[in-house]
Amino acid sequence: MELAQAQEIIIEMAAAGVSGISFTAGEPFIYFQDLLELVALCSRLKMYTRIVTNSYWAKSPEQALEHVLSLKQFGLCQLRLSYSRWHQQHVSRENVLNAARACKVAGISYFVSFVTDFSNEDDSYEQFLRDNILMFFPEPVIYAGRAESFGRDAIFTDYQDNRCAMNPYLTPDLTMYACCDAGSHFKTTDFFKLGSLKNESIKQLFEKSESCQLFNAIRSLGITTIASFAGFKARDIVTYRKCELCRQLFDSPEMLKKLKIAAEGELQQWTR
């Protein structure tokens, strides 16, 4: 996507009422100068900005601070630093430390997104964050895309609502999905695909997301309630990770057809 096109999209998003943008997918810092221009535009439009990065650019404290100070000058609100035993196969964990410390010096909000499968293999990675007093939040690995091939252990969770805010996700080819997590990986039904900016406006795509009764049920009821309504046994529901349960519900044509009909009436009554 060219810089001018990205700028036009951001202006259109602001006009549609979008109040915040997260730059992610791949590695945004590869296009650092363009990124600065986009952050500056968002700042002028009073839009909150976050960048998700693997910190490859923070090879030294000096390099990290130089980048972060530039981002602050152009109006960045927050850095989200990706970190995991998979990320750190390619980027030193010292880079993440350099980036976090640079944020502290520059006065920019940050947090470390600690992606984990909650196995003991991750203990040393978590301890590194604690030893260096970094702000971090554990994030369950989403088994989609490249992570779909990862081995995974059986789980047994609490019976949680699993409501999802469903922040829209715009890909470089201008396709928009209603969900920013695994929504673009539902290949059988493409349930979360809203359309393309090549054919429709930002406002039209947002209206699709907001007017879909089943999307609204995911936001308000949560996918656990929807799964129970759909006939999943409670003892089975607690063996699914959130995005995996979502896939069971919405990447099956037969189940999706049933739920779309129910979302217009019967499902809305499935409340306490």
Based on the fold, state whether residues 123 and 165 are members of the same structural domain: no
Based on the fold, state whether residues 40 and 98 are members of the same structural domain: yes
Q: Which amino acid is at 234?
A: A
State pTM to two decimals: 0.88
Could you tell me if 164 and 227 are in contact, meaning their C-beta atoms sit under 8 angstroms apart?
no
Could you tell me if 64 and 101 are in contact, meaning their C-beta atoms sit under 8 angstroms apart?
yes
Predicted pLDDT of residue 144: 67
Based on the fold, state whether residues 96 and 224 are members of the same structural domain: no
Predicted pLDDT of residue 153: 75
Based on the fold, state whether residues 87 and 204 are members of the same structural domain: no
Based on the fold, state whether residues 182 and 265 are members of the same structural domain: yes
Phi, psi of 175 (to 5 degrees): -80, 135
Of the three residues 141, 173, 199, the one that is the final residue of a domain is: 141
User: Is 148 part of any domain?
Assistant: no
Average pLDDT for runs of 10 along the chain of length 272: 94 95 92 97 98 98 98 98 95 98 98 93 97 95 70 76 87 90 78 94 94 94 94 92 88 95 91 80
Based on the fold, state whether residues 164 and 137 are members of the same structural domain: no
User: Is 88 part of any domain?
Assistant: yes
Based on the fold, state whether residues 125 and 175 are members of the same structural domain: no
User: Is 167 part of any domain?
Assistant: yes
Q: How many domains does the chain have?
A: 2
Predicted pLDDT of residue 182: 59
Predicted pLDDT of residue 160: 82
Range of 43's domain? 3-141
Based on the fold, state whether residues 47 and 120 are members of the same structural domain: yes
Based on the fold, state whether residues 179 and 130 are members of the same structural domain: no
How high is the mean pLDDT of the chain?
A: 92
pLDDT per position as a tens digit, 115-128? 998 889 999 999 99
Predicted pLDDT of residue 148: 66
